[in-house]
């Protein structure tokens, strides 16, 4: 007969927290697990979460806050000898040359971990005489967790996504353009507990359906990390107006700065309505002309709430590697139209005063209320 099995879920950082915060985080993590795996039955016990019922480990591995998972055989303490031999047989321990037992026990018992390791070690070697114990570099490890009268046996710790539970830090708007950077930036903030409201600004006359489709695809790729993620699309004609105003003044080189400042205002406006405490962008130091220290200062000047740029110190190769790892890369490289408003020689050392004056001259920049309202998009 197959033994009863449960999943052991390990989470981190929770132990750094005070008792009430820890409990809140654990509750959030369990709620997030239930949302993704509705037919599982999670319960919490002394710094661990256990799961029975229907569990898809691939889905479990993508839940933020989970560090690793293990599928365990559950055997009663008084059936441990038979249970561990059956476990060794099913896991083909005979194929290894060396092994180690890792014992952990919680609760009051008449034996120490060491006593138990010796007894079980002798038992296993009695059955498999060729096996040697190697505590430093074993081919196989067998973990035994004894919790009062129940033992959990496993031999694998499957790494999971890590981070902290989604939602415990509140909500952030993410400015997403479907490129390689912005989905990765959003992911990094999600991994640190922030629920994301992704916002795409459809620059009328300059971006088209290919850009929107690509952005939608990247958001689908992020759905495994936040099942209720929903892209908000804001149509906006400001760029066309601003571009014309700048051209008339021979100042096209400021186009991208005015455009991004407008996006920052839209992000702040959506954030206010969504109860978000900031927004995240995919900007990285020096990556393109608009991302110099001077220009980032000009952009930040337009942010009325905190702006987070988790990729600021990343090389492009780092971002690409991460995009592949988290599963957004393929969506980000589907063909889409380039923005035709990008000037041949964009300003790289703009000043806040110049840009504010130009904004004043081309006007209507603060009029985002109606535009950012998705019902009017």
Q: Is 260 marked as a binding-site residue? A: yes
φ and ψ at residue 113, rounded to 5 degrees: -60, -40
162 DSSP 8-state letter? -
Residue 181 engages Mg ion in binding (rule: CB under 5 A): yes
- Number of Cβ within a 10 Å radius of residue 46: 7
Q: Is 157 marked as a binding-site residue? A: no
DSSP string, 259-312: HHHHHHHHHHHHHHHHT-S-EE----TTSSTT-SHHHHHHHHHT-SS-EE-TTT
Strand order in the sheet with 171-175: 232-236, 195-203, 171-175, 279-280, 307-308
2 DSSP 8-state letter? P
Return the residue of 153, 176, 231, 270 that touches ligand ATP, per CB under 6 A.
Answer: 176
C-beta of 231: minimal distance to Mg ion in Å?
18
Q: Which residue is nearest to ligand ATP (CB)?
A: 179
Residue 288 engages ligand ATP in binding (rule: CB under 6 A): yes
C-beta of 301: minimal distance to ligand ATP in Å?
15
Return the residue of 177, 292, 295, 328 that touches ligand ATP, per CB under 6 A.
Answer: 177
Residue 251 engages Mg ion in binding (rule: CB under 5 A): no
Backbone dihedral region for residue 61 (phi beyond 0: left; psi -120 to 50: alpha; all else: beta) = alpha
Return the residue of 66, 142, 161, 180 that touches ligand ATP, per CB under 6 A.
Answer: 180
Instruction: Give the range of 7-15, 60-68, 178-186, 200-208 binding Mg ion by CB under 5 A.
Output: 178-186
DSSP SS3 for 134? coil
Contact pattern from residue 195 through residue 214 relative to ligand ATP, giving x for each residue in contact according to CB under 6 A and a dash for the rest: ----xxx-x-----------
Contact pattern from residue 247 through residue 266 relative to ligand ATP, giving x for each residue in contact according to CB under 6 A and a dash for the rest: ----------------x---
With CA atoms as reference, report the closest residue to 218 among 231, 236, 208. Answer: 231
Give the interface with ligand ATP as residue ranges (CB under 6 A). 175-177, 179-182, 199-201, 203, 263, 281-283, 288
Task: Give binding residues as ranges.
Answer: 175-176, 260, 282, 291
């Amino acid at each position: 007969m197959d033994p009863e099995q449960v999943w052991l879920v390990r989470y981190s950082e929770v132990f750094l927290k005070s008792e009430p915060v820890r409990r809140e985080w654990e509750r959030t993590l369990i709620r997030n697990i239930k949302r993704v795996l509705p037919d599982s039955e999670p319960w919490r016990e002394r710094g661990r979460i256990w799961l029975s019922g229907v569990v898809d480990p691939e889905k479990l591995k993508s839940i933020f806050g989970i560090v690793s998972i293990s599928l365990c055989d559950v055997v009663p303490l008084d059936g441990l000898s038979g249970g561990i031999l059956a476990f060794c047989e099913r896991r083909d321990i005979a194929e290894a040359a060396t092994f180690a037992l890792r014992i952990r026990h919680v609760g009051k018992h008449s034996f120490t971990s060491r006593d138990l390791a010796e007894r079980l070690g002798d038992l296993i070697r009695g059955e498999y005489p060729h096996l040697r114990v190697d505590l430093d570099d074993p081919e196989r490890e067998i973990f035994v967790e004894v919790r009062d009268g129940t033992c959990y046996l496993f031999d694998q710790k499957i790494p999971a996504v890590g981070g902290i539970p989604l939602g415990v830090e509140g909500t952030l708007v993410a400015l997403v353009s479907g490129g390689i950077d912005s989905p990765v930036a959003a992911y990094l903030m999600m991994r640190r507990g922030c629920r994301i409201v992704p916002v795409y600004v459809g620059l009328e006359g300059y971006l088209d359906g290919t850009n929107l489709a690509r952005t939608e695809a990247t958001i689908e790729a992020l759905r495994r990390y936040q099942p209720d993620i929903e892209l908000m699309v804001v149509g906006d004609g400001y760029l066309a107006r601003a571009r014309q105003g700048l051209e008339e003044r021979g100042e096209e080189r400021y186009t991208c700065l005015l455009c991004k400042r407008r996006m920052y205002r839209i992000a702040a406006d959506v954030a206010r309505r969504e109860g978000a405490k900031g927004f995240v962008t995919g900007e990285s130091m020096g990556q393109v002309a608009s991302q110099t220290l001077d220009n980032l200062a000009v952009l930040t000047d337009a942010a009325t709430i905190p702006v987070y740029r988790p990729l600021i110190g990343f090389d492009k190769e780092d971002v690409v590697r991460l995009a592949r790892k988290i599963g957004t890369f393929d969506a980000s490289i589907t063909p889409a139209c380039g923005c035709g408003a990008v000037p041949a020689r964009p300003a790289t050392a703009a000043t806040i005063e110049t840009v504010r004056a130009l904004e004043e001259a081309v006007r209507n920049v603060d009029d985002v209320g109606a535009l950012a309202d998705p019902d009017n998009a």
